């Protein structure tokens, strides 16, 4: 039976697609929940359709939870280093009905199968997926574990 009270998180910054897949498999993850607003990436292997195919090839389900993603203005604030504005935008997004809907979807999925939240940043503490994981922890009793894939040299 899946651990129903733990959520994993992973960021793909500085890691290859193979390293991320290996780290997910090693952690026993069964479902990857993509919490990017736009599941596109300049990094090979991390755009939605390619990522989904790679995950399915190793037996991991893919779910996109757009409602939990950071909107464009938040991503731009983060790129500028304006973390105060970034976290304010993340908080505003998390207060929307769309975010609540997808957060409840995440709860349902993670209670049934070992699940991980995916976003870009390697350090979860500067990534909005930490806020999503914190909500899962505070509101629904999930423990949080961060997966750190091997980074490229």
Residue 131 located in a structural domain: yes
When divided into structural domains, the chain yields a total of: 1
Residue 152 located in a structural domain: no
Residue 76 located in a structural domain: yes
More confident residue, 27 or 151: 27
Residue 105 located in a structural domain: yes
* E strands present in 39-110: 61-64
- Domain harbouring 65, CATH code: 3.40.1010
Average pLDDT in the 16-30 region?
Answer: 96
The pLDDT score that the predictor gives to residue 151 is 74
Following DSSP, what letter does each residue of 92-125 receive, concatenated? HHHTSHHHHHHHHHHHHHHHHS-EEEEES-SSGG
C-alpha distance from residue 125 to each of 14, 120, 146 (Å): 16, 12, 10
pTM over 0.85: yes
Average pLDDT in the 15-37 region?
Answer: 96
> Would you tell me how many other CB atoms lie within 10 Å of the CB of residue 143?
12
pLDDT per position as a tens digit, 106-123: 999 999 999 999 999 999
Residue 103 located in a structural domain: yes
The pLDDT score that the predictor gives to residue 43 is 86
Domain with 76 in it: 6-147
Residue 153 located in a structural domain: no
The pLDDT score that the predictor gives to residue 2 is 43
Phi, psi of 6 (to 5 degrees): -140, 145
Residue 98 located in a structural domain: yes
More confident residue, 43 or 50: 50
pLDDT per position as a tens digit, 75-89: 999 999 999 999 999
Residue 1 located in a structural domain: no
Average pLDDT in the 49-63 region?
Answer: 97
User: What average pLDDT is seen over the chain?
Assistant: 93
The pLDDT score that the predictor gives to residue 152 is 61
């Amino acid at each position: 039976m899946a651990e129903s009270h733990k959520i994993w998180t992973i960021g793909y910054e500085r890691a290859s697609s193979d390293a991320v897949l290996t780290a997910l498999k090693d952690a026993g993850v069964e479902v990857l929940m993509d919490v990017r607003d736009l599941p596109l990436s300049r990094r090979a292997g991390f755009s939605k359709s390619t990522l989904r195919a790679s995950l399915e090839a190793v037996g991991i389900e893919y779910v996109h939870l757009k409602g939990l993603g950071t909107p464009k203005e938040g991503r731009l604030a983060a790129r500028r280093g304006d973390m105060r504005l970034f976290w304010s935008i993340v908080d505003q997004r998390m207060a929307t009905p769309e975010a609540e809907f997808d957060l409840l979807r995440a709860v349902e999925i993670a209670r049934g199968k070992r699940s991980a939240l995916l976003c870009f940043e390697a350090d979860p503490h500067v990534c909005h997926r930490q806020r999503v994981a914190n909500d899962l922890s505070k509101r629904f009793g999930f423990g949080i574990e961060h997966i750190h894939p091997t980074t490229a040299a």
